[in-house]
Structure 1
């Protein structure tokens, strides 16, 4: 496993990282084994934005035998409220949630304290003079967090972070599709309705961000590198062609200042597929020839199962419901396994109350309420 220096943090992080957001889908035993297996393969970088106790417990158990060999991106502002993920800057939630993170991860420090999910320029400005930022700085001063980072999907907001002087690295959404899309701080209309015929290269704001990170020695770790797996399927890909995990990884790692890509794993085989990048041939890594002449399609409205739609007033697991809907509609008939897995969900799409609050939180403009109606009709509940 090759490592890269994560900008001014000086941390030598593995090129392939561990995005832990699907750990809650597994038993604790399976999740712990997956983390330990990743460590054996040389992965030393893990992102924990998840607020749920189960995922945090799994990570803590998985790392307790070699905590000093891991670098953790721990998010500040990702909290647990009424049994669901809740993003906030209110200290009555932020402080207990971060203390819970330390306790469940069985550690007394976090390598990278992440200012969690800032996509609005207005929100960025509000944070600059707030109890929330004072708390982040206090944690840094005490050594509870070793470095300060931030996560964002918006290159204009990320640029402000780079220019701030105190943000040492950023977690940013990078893949070939996203890179052609213009910046927006409006989460409802974050991505363009269509790929313009002229968008055959990287968006200028994104190109400028990567260059600024390189010049300011601000390292980048990558999220959404596979676009929720959509890039692996020609029918679901915005390009109309499919890419491999190795090609997506190579794309991300060839952006300026990028040091590590956080891949999501459900199985050891998926870990092997990602780590296989390290021994892949140049031909296997070549993504350019695949997308050079591909038809461009709209990406807006496509769910990447990121979970930012939470919390749901009706307790629906929106991301998983959307995933089952996508899996079902890819086939002429609903696969029996998909139907059965959907039916095992505690709350079904038919229970959606149509409040649309989740849609305001979706970075990709997914018409969630409409999709819940379609899903309920498709699965019959």
Structure 2
């Protein structure tokens, strides 16, 4: 396995990581078996954006007794409401969802607190100038997260976030299914049929 230094954290992480969404609706024993396989092959990094409580609990069970072997990137502002994932900028909801994440993973901290899904410039300003960044800073001061990150699908916003100097890790999606589209503040364009009506016409150089 190849290992790389993650952002400004100094943490060494495997080049291959667990994205964890694929564990949805799978029994705990299968999730644990996949974690066994990952560990045997040198994987030490996992990213968990999903807020589904059953998924979080299954991953927590798979981590039991070996949490310290993993660098965990957990997302702030990803919540579960009425049986569905929701992105929020409400600091109280974000705090409650983060508390739930730690409890279900069976840990008292995550290595990276990833501020979730910042694609619009107005949203970036709202995050950085408002209570969400303050929440992240407070959680870091309490030791409940060690480093602060931001995730984005918009290269212009991602660059701005990196240039602030306020974050340690930038998570930028490179998904050939939709991330070749030109940057947009409207996430619905990622799944709109018209975006894929012509072959390769929408690739952003």
Q: TM-score, normalised by structure 1?
A: 0.50
The alignment status of 1:114 with 2:109, answered yes or no, reads no
Q: How many residues align?
A: 201
Higher strand share: 2
1: CA distance between counterparts of 2:22 and 2:195?
29
Contact 1:31 1:58 survives alignment (8 Å): yes
1: CA distance between counterparts of 2:90 and 2:7?
30
User: 3-state DSSP class of the match of 1:9?
Assistant: coil
Displacement of 1:153 after TM fit?
A: 0.7
1: CA distance between counterparts of 2:175 and 2:92?
36
CA displacement, residues 248-280 of structure 1 (integer Å, 9 cap, x when unaligned): xxxxxxxxxxxxxxxxxxxxxxxxxxxxxxxxx
User: 3-state DSSP class of the match of 1:13?
Assistant: strand
1: CA distance between counterparts of 2:114 and 2:149?
4
CA displacement, residues 145-189 of structure 1 (integer Å, 9 cap, x when unaligned): 111111111111111110110111112111456564322222233
Displacement of 1:35 after TM fit?
A: 1.6
Displacement of 1:129 after TM fit?
A: 2.1
The alignment status of 1:45 with 2:37, answered yes or no, reads no
1: CA distance between counterparts of 2:153 and 2:179?
11
Structure 2 residue runs of 5 or longer lacking an equivalent are: none
Please name the residue that 1:13 is paired with: 13
Q: 1:195 to 1:24 in 2, by over 3 A?
A: closer
CA displacement, residues 94-125 of structure 1 (integer Å, 9 cap, x when unaligned): 11110010101000110010001111111111
User: 3-state DSSP class of the match of 1:127?
Assistant: helix
CA displacement, residues 59-91 of structure 1 (integer Å, 9 cap, x when unaligned): 111112211110111000111111211110112
2: CA distance between counterparts of 1:116 and 1:153?
11
The structure having more radius of gyration, on CA atoms, is 1
CA displacement, residues 291-319 of structure 1 (integer Å, 9 cap, x when unaligned): xxxxx3658xxxxxxxxxxxxxxxxxxxx
2: CA distance between counterparts of 1:175 and 1:155?
13
User: 3-state DSSP class of the match of 1:26?
Assistant: coil
Higher helix share: 1
User: 3-state DSSP class of the match of 1:8?
Assistant: coil
Please name the residue that 2:82 is paired with: 82
Q: CA RMSD in A?
A: 2.2
Structure 1 residue runs of 5 or longer lacking an equivalent are: 197-237, 239-295, 300-381
Please name the residue that 1:63 is paired with: 63
Contact 2:91 2:131 survives alignment (8 Å): yes
